[in-house]
Amino acid sequence: MILNNEELARKIEDIKIQGTMEYIINRKKMSPSYNGDYLSLDRKGTVFQMDNYCFGVGLGLNGAVLSSDIERVENFIREKDNCSNIHFELTPFSDQTLLKILQESGYTLEQFLAVWVLKLEEWNPNKGNLRNDEVSIVKVGAEESYEWARTVALGFSSDQNTTEDSIESVRGFLNLSHSTAFLLKEKEESVAGAFVAISDQLGEMFLTSTIQTHRGRGYQNLLIEERINYAKSKGCTHLTVMTKPNNTSARNMERNGFKLAYNKVIIKSSLCK
């Protein structure tokens, strides 16, 4: 049975918190001009500022969040002067007084996100995930790092173009400990990429994208299966991923045996200026 409970939510939120903190620390070491930062709220959660996007993770899972904590977050964001809003990611297990405080402060619902979990000992390969002779998947090393980052950035681009800043932003994830990236090639052309991070027998999948001209060929499913096998080989018992509800990615998770653990609600602040 999937552990649809508060303990599981804490583990899922924690792997995201620790990975994002490590990402920011490493980026600052590599590039002193990088402006990412984070604020830890005494084990009540963590708020991140990455470029012009600010978000909070894990709030209300380890004790009540007070109005003074929210004021501290808002002051932190104002000092950065490059985020117009704060987005708090709340689980069903977050302290209920937090939602009331945010609503009274003018925060509004932005969207829902689905959190999926796969219990690896119960997984059976999907026979529909067929790989032909023209498709190969490689584990990314130093030689493939730029090509992988470029491919992933292109996959997320709405106009099939990308910038060096976007590529370096994606490439920074390769410095995370206990993580691995995968690059999918069709013949010799790099067309899709994916990433998995591992912490305490829990793996988290993210940064999955396919360039627009090669979508609809089942490449996301092949990359899901590749990471499932990899996580099992590393001793993971569970694998998690977050998607928007009822989109193609969500359907691919169901197709590969993932179960919906819970939905997160994203609450957005008014302008923080």
pLDDT, tens digit, for every residue of 70-95? 999 999 988 887 888 899 999 999 98
User: d(Cα 12, Cα 206) in Å, to the nearest integer?
Assistant: 13
Mean of all residue pLDDT scores within the chain: 92
Tell me the pLDDT tens digit for each residue of 6-28. Answer: 888 999 999 999 999 999 999 99
pTM: 0.92
- Is the confidence at residue 4, as pLDDT, over 80? no
Dist. CA 249–CA 86, nearest whole Å: 25
User: What share of the chain has pLDDT > 90, as a percent?
Assistant: 77
| β-sheet with 135-139: strand ranges across | 37-40, 46-50, 53-57, 87-90, 259-268, 108-119, 238-243, 202-210, 189-199, 179-186, 135-139
Q: Which tokens belong to 258? A: 């993932």
CA dist 152 and 158 (Å) reads 12
Chain centre distance of CA 253: 15
Q: Taking CA 31 as the corner, what is the angle to CA 30 and CA 35, rounded to the nearest 5 degrees?
A: 125
Q: Is the pLDDT of residue 3 over 80?
A: no
pLDDT the model gives residue 92: 92
How far apart (Å, rounded) are the C-alpha atoms in residues 230 and 204?
A: 12
The amino acid occupying position 17 is I
Which residue in the block uniquely carries the two structure tokens 């583990």? Answer: 11
| Domain architecture of the chain: domains with CATH | 6-114+264-268 (3.40.630), 124-256 (3.40.630.30)
Distance CA 250, CA 272 (A): 32
In the numeric block, the tokens 């067309």 are attached to 191
What pLDDT, in 10s, does the model give residues 225-271? 999 999 999 999 999 999 999 999 999 999 999 999 999 999 999 86
pLDDT for the residue 271: 64
Over residues 164-201, the pLDDT tens digits come to: 999 999 999 999 999 999 999 999 999 999 999 999 89
Task: State residue 272's pLDDT score.
Answer: 56
Average pLDDT over residues 128-134: 82
Confidence band, pLDDT 50/70/90 cuts, at residue 2: very low
| H or E segment and range at residue 20 | helix 6-30
The first and second tokens of residue 237, run together, are 């018992």
Residue-level pLDDT at 1: 39
- The pLDDT, as a whole number, for residue 83 is 84
- 110 vs 84, which has greater pLDDT? 110
33 or 119: whose pLDDT is higher?
119
